[in-house]
Protein backbone atom coordinates (compact mmCIF):
# COMPACT_ATOMS: atom_id res chain seq x y z
CA UNK A 1 0.00 0.00 0.00
CA UNK A 2 1.60 3.23 -1.09
CA UNK A 3 2.04 5.99 1.41
CA UNK A 4 1.57 9.66 0.74
CA UNK A 5 5.30 10.14 0.90
CA UNK A 6 6.01 7.47 -1.64
CA UNK A 7 3.44 8.94 -4.01
CA UNK A 8 5.15 12.31 -3.88
CA UNK A 9 8.46 10.62 -4.50
CA UNK A 10 7.31 8.67 -7.50
CA UNK A 11 6.00 11.72 -9.31
CA UNK A 12 9.16 12.16 -11.40
CA UNK A 13 8.77 8.54 -12.56
CA UNK A 14 5.14 9.20 -13.44
CA UNK A 15 6.15 12.24 -15.47
CA UNK A 16 8.79 10.25 -17.28
CA UNK A 17 6.54 7.30 -18.04
CA UNK A 18 3.62 9.33 -19.25
CA UNK A 19 5.67 11.76 -21.30
CA UNK A 20 7.76 9.02 -22.89
CA UNK A 21 5.27 8.39 -25.72
CA UNK A 22 5.66 12.01 -26.76
CA UNK A 23 9.41 11.92 -26.92
CA UNK A 24 10.24 8.97 -29.12
CA UNK A 25 9.35 8.31 -32.73
CA UNK A 26 10.19 4.82 -33.87
CA UNK A 27 10.46 3.46 -37.37
CA UNK A 28 7.34 1.39 -36.74
CA UNK A 29 5.48 4.58 -35.92
CA UNK A 30 6.56 6.24 -39.13
CA UNK A 31 5.59 3.18 -41.11
CA UNK A 32 2.16 3.21 -39.48
CA UNK A 33 1.68 6.87 -40.27
CA UNK A 34 2.76 6.33 -43.86
CA UNK A 35 0.38 3.41 -44.29
CA UNK A 36 -2.54 5.28 -42.81
CA UNK A 37 -1.78 8.36 -44.88
CA UNK A 38 -1.87 6.24 -48.02
CA UNK A 39 -5.28 4.87 -47.10
CA UNK A 40 -6.51 8.37 -46.37
CA UNK A 41 -5.20 9.59 -49.70
CA UNK A 42 -6.94 6.74 -51.49
CA UNK A 43 -10.21 7.54 -49.75
CA UNK A 44 -9.82 11.23 -50.54
CA UNK A 45 -9.15 10.47 -54.18
CA UNK A 46 -12.24 8.35 -54.53
CA UNK A 47 -14.28 10.97 -52.72
CA UNK A 48 -13.13 13.65 -55.12
CA UNK A 49 -14.09 11.36 -57.97
CA UNK A 50 -17.51 10.96 -56.42
CA UNK A 51 -17.91 14.71 -56.04
CA UNK A 52 -16.94 15.20 -59.67
CA UNK A 53 -19.20 12.58 -61.18
CA UNK A 54 -22.07 12.25 -58.72
CA UNK A 55 -23.49 10.20 -55.88
CA UNK A 56 -24.36 7.63 -58.51
CA UNK A 57 -20.97 6.07 -57.79
CA UNK A 58 -22.62 4.46 -54.78
CA UNK A 59 -25.15 1.70 -55.14
CA UNK A 60 -28.02 3.77 -53.84
CA UNK A 61 -31.24 3.90 -55.81
CA UNK A 62 -34.85 4.70 -54.95
CA UNK A 63 -36.13 3.71 -52.39
CA UNK A 64 -32.71 3.34 -50.74
CA UNK A 65 -31.69 6.99 -50.47
CA UNK A 66 -29.61 6.57 -47.33
CA UNK A 67 -27.03 3.87 -46.92
CA UNK A 68 -23.46 3.32 -45.81
CA UNK A 69 -22.50 6.95 -45.36
CA UNK A 70 -25.34 7.59 -42.96
CA UNK A 71 -24.66 4.29 -41.22
CA UNK A 72 -21.07 5.42 -40.74
CA UNK A 73 -22.20 8.82 -39.51
CA UNK A 74 -24.43 7.24 -36.87
CA UNK A 75 -21.70 4.78 -35.96
CA UNK A 76 -19.03 7.44 -35.47
CA UNK A 77 -21.32 9.63 -33.40
CA UNK A 78 -21.97 6.54 -31.32
CA UNK A 79 -18.27 5.93 -30.82
CA UNK A 80 -17.88 9.55 -29.77
CA UNK A 81 -20.02 8.90 -26.73
CA UNK A 82 -17.18 6.91 -25.23
CA UNK A 83 -15.24 9.91 -24.04
CA UNK A 84 -18.10 11.83 -22.60
CA UNK A 85 -19.49 8.83 -20.84
CA UNK A 86 -16.24 7.79 -19.23
CA UNK A 87 -15.08 11.29 -18.48
CA UNK A 88 -18.36 12.83 -17.55
CA UNK A 89 -20.38 10.14 -15.90
CA UNK A 90 -17.46 8.62 -14.05
CA UNK A 91 -16.42 12.05 -12.83
CA UNK A 92 -19.93 12.66 -11.58
CA UNK A 93 -19.92 9.36 -9.74
CA UNK A 94 -16.42 10.09 -8.46
CA UNK A 95 -15.17 6.77 -9.76
CA UNK A 96 -11.43 6.79 -9.21
CA UNK A 97 -10.66 4.15 -11.81
CA UNK A 98 -11.47 6.58 -14.60
CA UNK A 99 -8.22 8.46 -14.22
CA UNK A 100 -5.95 6.72 -16.71
CA UNK A 101 -8.79 6.30 -19.19
CA UNK A 102 -10.32 9.73 -19.54
CA UNK A 103 -7.77 11.31 -21.87
CA UNK A 104 -7.71 8.30 -24.22
CA UNK A 105 -11.48 8.32 -24.37
CA UNK A 106 -11.86 12.08 -24.76
CA UNK A 107 -9.42 12.11 -27.67
CA UNK A 108 -11.52 9.40 -29.26
CA UNK A 109 -14.56 11.57 -28.84
CA UNK A 110 -13.41 14.62 -30.70
CA UNK A 111 -11.82 12.61 -33.48
CA UNK A 112 -15.00 10.54 -33.91
CA UNK A 113 -17.16 13.64 -34.09
CA UNK A 114 -14.94 15.03 -36.83
CA UNK A 115 -15.12 11.80 -38.81
CA UNK A 116 -18.88 11.69 -38.34
CA UNK A 117 -19.19 15.18 -39.82
CA UNK A 118 -16.97 14.01 -42.67
CA UNK A 119 -19.38 11.15 -43.33
CA UNK A 120 -22.21 13.65 -43.69
CA UNK A 121 -20.18 15.46 -46.32
CA UNK A 122 -19.64 12.18 -48.15
CA UNK A 123 -23.38 11.73 -48.23
CA UNK A 124 -24.47 15.15 -49.54
CA UNK A 125 -25.54 15.23 -53.16
CA UNK A 126 -24.28 18.75 -53.72
CA UNK A 127 -21.59 18.96 -51.09
CA UNK A 128 -20.25 22.23 -52.52
CA UNK A 129 -23.49 23.85 -51.35
CA UNK A 130 -23.11 22.54 -47.82
CA UNK A 131 -23.15 26.08 -46.44
CA UNK A 132 -26.88 26.31 -47.14
CA UNK A 133 -27.14 24.46 -43.84
CA UNK A 134 -25.59 27.35 -41.91
CA UNK A 135 -27.97 29.85 -40.37
CA UNK A 136 -26.69 33.23 -41.43
CA UNK A 137 -28.39 36.27 -42.90
CA UNK A 138 -27.89 36.37 -46.66
CA UNK A 139 -29.14 38.22 -49.69
CA UNK A 140 -31.50 35.38 -50.54
CA UNK A 141 -33.28 36.11 -47.23
CA UNK A 142 -33.61 32.44 -46.54
CA UNK A 143 -32.74 30.46 -43.44
CA UNK A 144 -32.45 26.73 -42.92
CA UNK A 145 -35.56 24.89 -41.80
CA UNK A 146 -35.21 24.18 -38.09
CA UNK A 147 -38.25 21.96 -38.20
CA UNK A 148 -36.07 19.38 -39.93
CA UNK A 149 -34.49 16.79 -37.60
CA UNK A 150 -31.30 17.27 -39.58
CA UNK A 151 -31.01 20.83 -38.35
CA UNK A 152 -31.49 19.58 -34.77
CA UNK A 153 -28.63 17.22 -35.65
CA UNK A 154 -26.47 20.04 -36.90
CA UNK A 155 -27.09 22.15 -33.78
CA UNK A 156 -26.61 19.25 -31.41
CA UNK A 157 -23.44 17.98 -33.02
CA UNK A 158 -21.96 21.43 -33.19
CA UNK A 159 -22.71 21.90 -29.50
CA UNK A 160 -21.32 18.47 -28.71
CA UNK A 161 -18.14 18.98 -30.72
CA UNK A 162 -17.47 22.36 -29.11
CA UNK A 163 -18.27 21.05 -25.63
CA UNK A 164 -16.13 17.95 -26.09
CA UNK A 165 -13.18 19.97 -27.29
CA UNK A 166 -13.51 22.25 -24.28
CA UNK A 167 -13.91 19.23 -22.03
CA UNK A 168 -10.79 17.60 -23.46
CA UNK A 169 -8.86 20.84 -23.15
CA UNK A 170 -9.76 21.72 -19.57
CA UNK A 171 -7.86 18.91 -17.80
CA UNK A 172 -5.10 19.23 -20.41
CA UNK A 173 -4.02 22.67 -19.27
CA UNK A 174 -1.83 21.53 -16.35
CA UNK A 175 -0.44 18.71 -18.49
CA UNK A 176 0.47 21.15 -21.24
CA UNK A 177 2.34 23.21 -18.66
CA UNK A 178 4.20 20.12 -17.55
CA UNK A 179 5.02 19.19 -21.12
CA UNK A 180 6.18 22.69 -21.94
CA UNK A 181 8.83 22.37 -19.26
CA UNK A 182 10.08 19.05 -20.53
CA UNK A 183 9.57 18.87 -24.27
CA UNK A 184 11.45 21.05 -26.70
CA UNK A 185 11.14 22.11 -30.29
CA UNK A 186 8.10 23.45 -32.05
CA UNK A 187 5.83 21.58 -29.67
CA UNK A 188 7.11 23.62 -26.78
CA UNK A 189 5.83 26.82 -28.33
CA UNK A 190 2.41 25.27 -28.84
CA UNK A 191 2.34 23.98 -25.28
CA UNK A 192 3.33 27.41 -24.00
CA UNK A 193 0.47 28.95 -25.95
CA UNK A 194 -2.08 26.37 -24.91
CA UNK A 195 -1.21 26.10 -21.21
CA UNK A 196 -2.37 29.68 -20.61
CA UNK A 197 0.71 30.44 -18.52
CA UNK A 198 -0.35 27.85 -15.97
CA UNK A 199 1.63 28.09 -12.76
CA UNK A 200 -0.16 25.63 -10.56
CA UNK A 201 -1.33 28.04 -7.87
CA UNK A 202 -4.26 27.05 -5.71
CA UNK A 203 -6.45 29.79 -7.20
CA UNK A 204 -5.84 28.36 -10.66
CA UNK A 205 -6.60 24.84 -9.47
CA UNK A 206 -9.82 26.05 -7.92
CA UNK A 207 -10.79 27.85 -11.11
CA UNK A 208 -10.07 24.74 -13.15
CA UNK A 209 -11.97 22.48 -10.80
CA UNK A 210 -14.90 24.87 -10.77
CA UNK A 211 -15.05 24.91 -14.54
CA UNK A 212 -14.77 21.13 -14.75
CA UNK A 213 -17.40 20.63 -12.09
CA UNK A 214 -19.84 22.92 -13.90
CA UNK A 215 -19.22 21.59 -17.40
CA UNK A 216 -19.38 17.89 -16.44
CA UNK A 217 -23.12 17.59 -15.79
CA UNK A 218 -23.84 19.88 -18.73
CA UNK A 219 -21.86 17.77 -21.12
CA UNK A 220 -23.48 14.56 -19.89
CA UNK A 221 -26.87 16.14 -20.62
CA UNK A 222 -25.63 17.15 -24.05
CA UNK A 223 -24.37 13.63 -24.68
CA UNK A 224 -27.77 12.13 -23.99
CA UNK A 225 -29.47 14.67 -26.24
CA UNK A 226 -27.05 14.30 -29.15
CA UNK A 227 -27.60 10.67 -29.89
CA UNK A 228 -31.29 10.98 -29.15
CA UNK A 229 -31.45 13.62 -31.85
CA UNK A 230 -29.50 11.40 -34.24
CA UNK A 231 -32.04 8.69 -33.46
CA UNK A 232 -34.81 11.15 -34.22
CA UNK A 233 -33.43 11.56 -37.73
CA UNK A 234 -34.98 8.16 -38.16
CA UNK A 235 -37.75 8.34 -35.60
CA UNK A 236 -39.34 11.44 -37.12
CA UNK A 237 -39.77 9.79 -40.49
CA UNK A 238 -42.68 7.64 -41.59
CA UNK A 239 -40.53 4.75 -42.76
CA UNK A 240 -41.80 1.50 -41.19
CA UNK A 241 -39.15 0.25 -38.81
CA UNK A 242 -37.80 3.76 -38.21
CA UNK A 243 -40.88 5.35 -36.79
CA UNK A 244 -40.65 3.89 -33.31
CA UNK A 245 -40.48 5.80 -30.05
CA UNK A 246 -37.79 3.55 -28.63
CA UNK A 247 -35.30 4.73 -31.18
CA UNK A 248 -33.86 7.59 -29.11
CA UNK A 249 -33.02 5.59 -25.96
CA UNK A 250 -31.91 2.69 -28.12
CA UNK A 251 -29.45 4.85 -29.99
CA UNK A 252 -28.07 6.43 -26.81
CA UNK A 253 -27.44 3.10 -25.12
CA UNK A 254 -26.06 1.66 -28.36
CA UNK A 255 -23.68 4.59 -28.60
CA UNK A 256 -22.34 4.01 -25.11
CA UNK A 257 -22.05 0.31 -25.91
CA UNK A 258 -19.91 0.83 -29.01
CA UNK A 259 -18.01 3.67 -27.35
CA UNK A 260 -16.98 1.52 -24.43
CA UNK A 261 -15.88 -1.17 -26.85
CA UNK A 262 -13.74 1.33 -28.71
CA UNK A 263 -12.21 2.50 -25.44
CA UNK A 264 -11.28 -1.10 -24.63
CA UNK A 265 -9.43 -1.27 -27.93
CA UNK A 266 -7.71 2.05 -27.34
CA UNK A 267 -6.68 1.11 -23.80
CA UNK A 268 -5.15 -2.13 -24.94
CA UNK A 269 -3.23 -0.55 -27.80
CA UNK A 270 -1.88 2.30 -25.70
CA UNK A 271 -0.93 0.01 -22.84
CA UNK A 272 0.80 -2.44 -25.10
CA UNK A 273 2.60 0.07 -27.31
CA UNK A 274 3.93 2.33 -24.58
CA UNK A 275 4.41 -0.29 -21.87
CA UNK A 276 2.02 1.43 -19.50
CA UNK A 277 1.02 -1.70 -17.61
CA UNK A 278 1.60 0.13 -14.35
CA UNK A 279 -1.06 2.66 -15.21
CA UNK A 280 -3.60 0.79 -17.27
CA UNK A 281 -4.10 -2.28 -15.15
CA UNK A 282 -6.38 -5.26 -15.42
CA UNK A 283 -8.74 -3.65 -12.92
CA UNK A 284 -9.56 -1.02 -15.51
CA UNK A 285 -10.44 -3.64 -18.07
CA UNK A 286 -12.45 -5.39 -15.43
CA UNK A 287 -14.50 -2.32 -14.57
CA UNK A 288 -14.93 -1.52 -18.26
CA UNK A 289 -16.16 -5.04 -18.79
CA UNK A 290 -18.75 -4.66 -16.05
CA UNK A 291 -20.00 -1.46 -17.64
CA UNK A 292 -20.22 -3.29 -20.94
CA UNK A 293 -22.38 -5.98 -19.35
CA UNK A 294 -24.76 -3.27 -18.19
CA UNK A 295 -24.97 -1.70 -21.65
CA UNK A 296 -25.36 -5.10 -23.31
CA UNK A 297 -28.28 -6.00 -21.08
CA UNK A 298 -29.92 -2.62 -21.49
CA UNK A 299 -29.50 -2.63 -25.24
CA UNK A 300 -30.80 -6.18 -25.52
CA UNK A 301 -33.81 -5.23 -23.41
CA UNK A 302 -34.64 -2.20 -25.57
CA UNK A 303 -34.15 -4.13 -28.79
CA UNK A 304 -36.26 -7.03 -27.61
CA UNK A 305 -39.02 -4.70 -26.48
CA UNK A 306 -39.07 -3.08 -29.91
CA UNK A 307 -39.02 -6.27 -31.96
CA UNK A 308 -41.52 -8.03 -29.70
CA UNK A 309 -43.98 -5.24 -30.36
CA UNK A 310 -43.44 -5.55 -34.09
CA UNK A 311 -43.72 -9.33 -34.07
CA UNK A 312 -46.87 -9.44 -31.99
CA UNK A 313 -48.62 -6.60 -33.80
CA UNK A 314 -48.09 -8.20 -37.20
CA UNK A 315 -48.46 -4.98 -39.15
CA UNK A 316 -47.54 -5.96 -42.71
CA UNK A 317 -45.07 -3.15 -43.41
CA UNK A 318 -43.11 -3.80 -40.24
CA UNK A 319 -43.37 -7.59 -40.39
CA UNK A 320 -41.82 -7.56 -43.86
CA UNK A 321 -38.75 -5.88 -42.42
CA UNK A 322 -38.54 -8.16 -39.40
CA UNK A 323 -38.84 -11.17 -41.62
CA UNK A 324 -36.13 -9.95 -43.97
CA UNK A 325 -33.84 -9.55 -40.97
CA UNK A 326 -34.51 -12.81 -39.22
CA UNK A 327 -34.97 -15.22 -42.11
CA UNK A 328 -34.66 -13.18 -45.27
CA UNK A 329 -31.85 -11.66 -47.32
CA UNK A 330 -30.34 -9.92 -44.31
CA UNK A 331 -30.28 -12.97 -42.06
CA UNK A 332 -26.52 -13.50 -42.12
CA UNK A 333 -25.55 -9.96 -41.05
CA UNK A 334 -28.42 -9.93 -38.57
CA UNK A 335 -27.46 -13.04 -36.67
CA UNK A 336 -23.78 -12.09 -36.80
CA UNK A 337 -24.74 -8.82 -35.22
CA UNK A 338 -26.76 -10.55 -32.50
CA UNK A 339 -23.79 -12.72 -31.59
CA UNK A 340 -21.27 -9.89 -31.70
CA UNK A 341 -23.10 -7.30 -29.65
CA UNK A 342 -25.41 -9.31 -27.40
CA UNK A 343 -24.54 -12.98 -27.03
CA UNK A 344 -20.77 -12.72 -27.11
CA UNK A 345 -20.46 -9.92 -24.53
CA UNK A 346 -23.03 -11.49 -22.23
CA UNK A 347 -21.39 -14.86 -22.25
CA UNK A 348 -17.79 -13.72 -22.05
CA UNK A 349 -17.94 -10.57 -19.98
CA UNK A 350 -19.79 -12.18 -17.11
CA UNK A 351 -16.66 -14.23 -16.45
CA UNK A 352 -14.32 -12.19 -14.22
CA UNK A 353 -11.26 -13.92 -15.61
CA UNK A 354 -12.15 -12.80 -19.12
CA UNK A 355 -12.72 -9.24 -18.00
CA UNK A 356 -9.28 -9.03 -16.53
CA UNK A 357 -7.63 -10.22 -19.75
CA UNK A 358 -6.62 -7.10 -21.69
CA UNK A 359 -6.14 -8.75 -25.07
CA UNK A 360 -9.48 -10.48 -24.72
CA UNK A 361 -11.18 -7.20 -23.87
CA UNK A 362 -9.60 -5.65 -26.93
CA UNK A 363 -10.97 -8.41 -29.14
CA UNK A 364 -14.34 -8.00 -27.46
CA UNK A 365 -14.17 -4.31 -28.28
CA UNK A 366 -13.43 -5.07 -31.92
CA UNK A 367 -16.29 -7.53 -32.05
CA UNK A 368 -18.70 -5.08 -30.46
CA UNK A 369 -17.74 -2.31 -32.85
CA UNK A 370 -18.03 -4.48 -35.94
CA UNK A 371 -21.37 -5.71 -34.64
CA UNK A 372 -22.59 -2.18 -33.91
CA UNK A 373 -21.61 -1.02 -37.39
CA UNK A 374 -23.58 -3.88 -38.90
CA UNK A 375 -26.43 -2.98 -36.57
CA UNK A 376 -26.47 0.61 -37.85
CA UNK A 377 -26.45 -0.61 -41.41
CA UNK A 378 -29.30 -3.00 -40.63
CA UNK A 379 -31.33 -0.20 -39.11
CA UNK A 380 -31.00 1.87 -42.27
CA UNK A 381 -31.16 -0.48 -45.23
CA UNK A 382 -33.88 -3.14 -44.64
CA UNK A 383 -36.61 -0.60 -43.79
CA UNK A 384 -35.74 1.40 -46.89
CA UNK A 385 -35.73 -1.62 -49.15
CA UNK A 386 -39.22 -2.57 -47.97
CA UNK A 387 -41.45 0.48 -48.48
CA UNK A 388 -45.21 0.26 -48.10
CA UNK A 389 -45.81 0.16 -51.85
CA UNK A 390 -44.39 -3.27 -52.50
CA UNK A 391 -43.77 -2.53 -56.16
CA UNK A 392 -40.69 -0.61 -54.99
CA UNK A 393 -39.14 -3.40 -52.90
CA UNK A 394 -35.48 -3.63 -53.66
CA UNK A 395 -32.09 -4.59 -52.29
CA UNK A 396 -28.77 -2.93 -51.68
CA UNK A 397 -25.12 -3.67 -51.12
CA UNK A 398 -22.37 -1.04 -50.84
CA UNK A 399 -20.28 -0.24 -53.92
CA UNK A 400 -16.50 -0.43 -53.92
CA UNK A 401 -16.23 3.36 -53.96
CA UNK A 402 -18.27 3.65 -50.77
CA UNK A 403 -16.08 1.07 -49.05
CA UNK A 404 -12.86 2.81 -50.08
CA UNK A 405 -14.13 6.18 -48.92
CA UNK A 406 -15.26 4.77 -45.57
CA UNK A 407 -12.01 2.88 -45.14
CA UNK A 408 -10.23 6.16 -45.77
CA UNK A 409 -12.37 7.77 -43.08
CA UNK A 410 -11.46 5.04 -40.60
CA UNK A 411 -7.79 5.41 -41.51
CA UNK A 412 -8.16 9.16 -40.99
CA UNK A 413 -9.53 8.57 -37.49
CA UNK A 414 -6.66 6.29 -36.55
CA UNK A 415 -4.13 8.61 -38.17
CA UNK A 416 -5.40 11.63 -36.26
CA UNK A 417 -5.24 9.63 -33.04
CA UNK A 418 -1.74 8.42 -33.75
CA UNK A 419 -0.57 11.95 -34.59
CA UNK A 420 -2.23 13.47 -31.55
CA UNK A 421 -0.56 10.83 -29.38
CA UNK A 422 2.70 12.65 -30.09
CA UNK A 423 1.27 15.92 -28.87
CA UNK A 424 -1.09 15.10 -26.05
CA UNK A 425 -0.06 12.99 -23.05
CA UNK A 426 -2.32 10.00 -23.40
CA UNK A 427 -2.89 9.60 -19.67
CA UNK A 428 -3.84 12.61 -17.66
CA UNK A 429 -0.71 13.14 -15.59
CA UNK A 430 -2.02 15.35 -12.83
CA UNK A 431 -5.17 13.31 -12.41
CA UNK A 432 -3.11 10.14 -12.14
CA UNK A 433 -0.97 11.73 -9.44
CA UNK A 434 -4.07 13.01 -7.67
CA UNK A 435 -5.64 9.57 -7.80
CA UNK A 436 -2.63 7.87 -6.30
CA UNK A 437 -2.54 10.41 -3.52
CA UNK A 438 -6.21 9.86 -2.79
CA UNK A 439 -5.66 6.12 -2.73
CA UNK A 440 -2.72 6.52 -0.35
CA UNK A 441 -4.65 8.85 1.93
CA UNK A 442 -7.50 6.45 2.48
Partner 1 sequence: MSDAEDKRPYRWGMVIDLDRCTGCEACVVACHAENNIRISGEAEAAQGRAINWIRIERYWEGEYPNVSAKFMPVLCQHCDNAPCEPVCPVYASYHTPDGLNAQVYNRCIGVRYCGNNCPYVARQFNWFDPHWDPPLEEQLNPDVSVRQNGIMEKCTFCVQRIRKAKEQAESEGRRVRDGEIVPACVQTCPTSALVFGDRNDPNSRVSILAQGDRGFHLLESLGTDPAITYLKRLS
Partner 2 sequence: MPPLDELEVHGLFSGDVDVATLCERLRQTGVREEQIHVLSPIPLSSRASDCIGSVPFYRITIGAGIVGIGVGIFFAAGTAVMYPLMTGGKPIVAAPVVGIISYETMMLVAIVMTFLAMLVRIKRTNSTIRSRDVRVDDGRVAVTVRVTMLGSIAGAVGDAMEQAGAIEVQSSIIPSGRESVSPSIRRAASLLLPLLMAGFPSGCSQDMQEQPSYQAQEVPRRHSPPGSVPRESRRLLPMPVERNEPMEEAGPRLFHINCVHCHGEQGEGDGPVAPFLKERPANLKTEKVRAMSVEAIYRAVTDGRDMMPSFKGELSAGERLEIARFVASLSRPSVAHQGGEEDR
240 or 289, CB closer to partner 1? 240
Nearest one of 240, 257, 245, 228 to 305, comparing CA atoms: 245
Identify which range of 28-36, 125-133, 266-274, 331-339 contacts partner 2 by CB under 8 A.
125-133
Q: How far is the CB of 57 from partner 1 (least distance, A)?
A: 8
To partner 2, the closest distance from the beta carbon of 131 in angstroms equals 6
CB 19 within 8 A of CB 182: yes
60 binds partner 1 (CB under 8 A): yes
Q: Which is nearer to partner 1, 143 or 304 (CB)?
A: 143
Q: CA-to-CA distance for 378 and 328, rounded, in angstroms?
A: 12
Structural contact between residues 413 and 406, judged by C-beta atoms closer than 8 angstroms:
no
**Helix locations, 1-135, DSSP H:** 4-9, 11-23, 27-53, 68-79, 81-84, 90-92, 102-123
Does residue number 132 form part of the binding site for partner 1 (CB under 8 A)?
yes
Nearer to partner 2 (CB atom), residue 225 or residue 298: 225
By CB under 8 A, residue 170 contacts partner 2? yes
Judged by CB under 8 A, does residue 125 bind partner 1? yes
Say how many C-beta atoms besides its own lie within 10 A of residue 179's C-beta: 26
Q: Which does 170 bind (CB under 5 to 8 A by kind): partner 2, partner 1, none?
A: partner 2
Burial label, 203 (beta-carbon count in 10 A; 0-12, 13-18, 19+): exposed
Q: How far apart are CA 249 and CA 251, in angstroms?
A: 5
- When the beta carbons of 144 and 435 are compared against partner 1, the nearer one is 144
Stretch that binds partner 1, among 336-344, 346-354, 388-396, 411-419 (CB under 8 A): 388-396
**Of residues 185-224, those binding partner 2 (CB under 8 A):** 189, 192-193, 196-215, 218-219, 221-222
Distance of CA 296 to the CA centre of its chain: 17
Using CB under 8 A, which residues numbered 168 to 227 contact partner 1? none
CA–CA dist 394, 417 (Å, integer): 39
CA 211, distance to chain mean position in Å, is 24
Smallest gap from residue 232 Cβ to partner 2 (A) = 8
399 binds, among partner 2, partner 1, none (CB under 5 to 8 A by kind): none
Mark 373-397 as b/e (b = at least 16 C-beta within 10 Å).
bbbbbbbbbbbbbbbeeeeeeeebe
Question: Where in 14-33 is the site for partner 2 (CB under 8 A)?
Answer: 15
Cβ atoms of 159 and 145 within 8 Å: the answer is no
- Confirm or reject binding of residue 127 to partner 1 (CB under 8 A): yes
Phi, psi of 255, rounded to the nearest 5 degrees: -65, -45
- The one among 1, 12, 314, 389 contacting partner 2 by CB under 8 A: 12
> For partner 2, which is the closer residue by CB, 163 or 267?
163
Q: How many residues sit close enough to partner 1 to count as binding (CB under 8 A)?
A: 43
The separation between CA 105 and the C-alpha centre of its own chain, rounded to angstroms, equals 8
387 binds, among partner 2, partner 1, none (CB under 5 to 8 A by kind): partner 1
Q: Which residues make up the interface to partner 1 (CB under 8 A)?
A: 53-56, 59-63, 65-66, 123-127, 129-130, 132-133, 142-145, 147-151, 154, 233, 236-239, 384, 387-392, 394
Amino acid sequence: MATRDSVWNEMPAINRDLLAPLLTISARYLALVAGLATLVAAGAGVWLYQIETGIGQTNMHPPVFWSSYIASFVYWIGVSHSGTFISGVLRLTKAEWRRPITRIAELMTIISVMIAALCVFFHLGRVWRWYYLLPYPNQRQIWPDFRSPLMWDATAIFTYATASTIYLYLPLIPDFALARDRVGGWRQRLYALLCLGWKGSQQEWETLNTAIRIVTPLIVMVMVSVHSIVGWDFGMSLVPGWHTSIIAPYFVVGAVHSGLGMVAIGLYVVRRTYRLEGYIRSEHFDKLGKLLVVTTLTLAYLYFADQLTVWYGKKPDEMAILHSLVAGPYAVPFWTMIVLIYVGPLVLLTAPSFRAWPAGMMLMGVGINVGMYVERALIIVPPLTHPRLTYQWSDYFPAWSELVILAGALAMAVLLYVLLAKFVPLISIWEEKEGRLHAASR
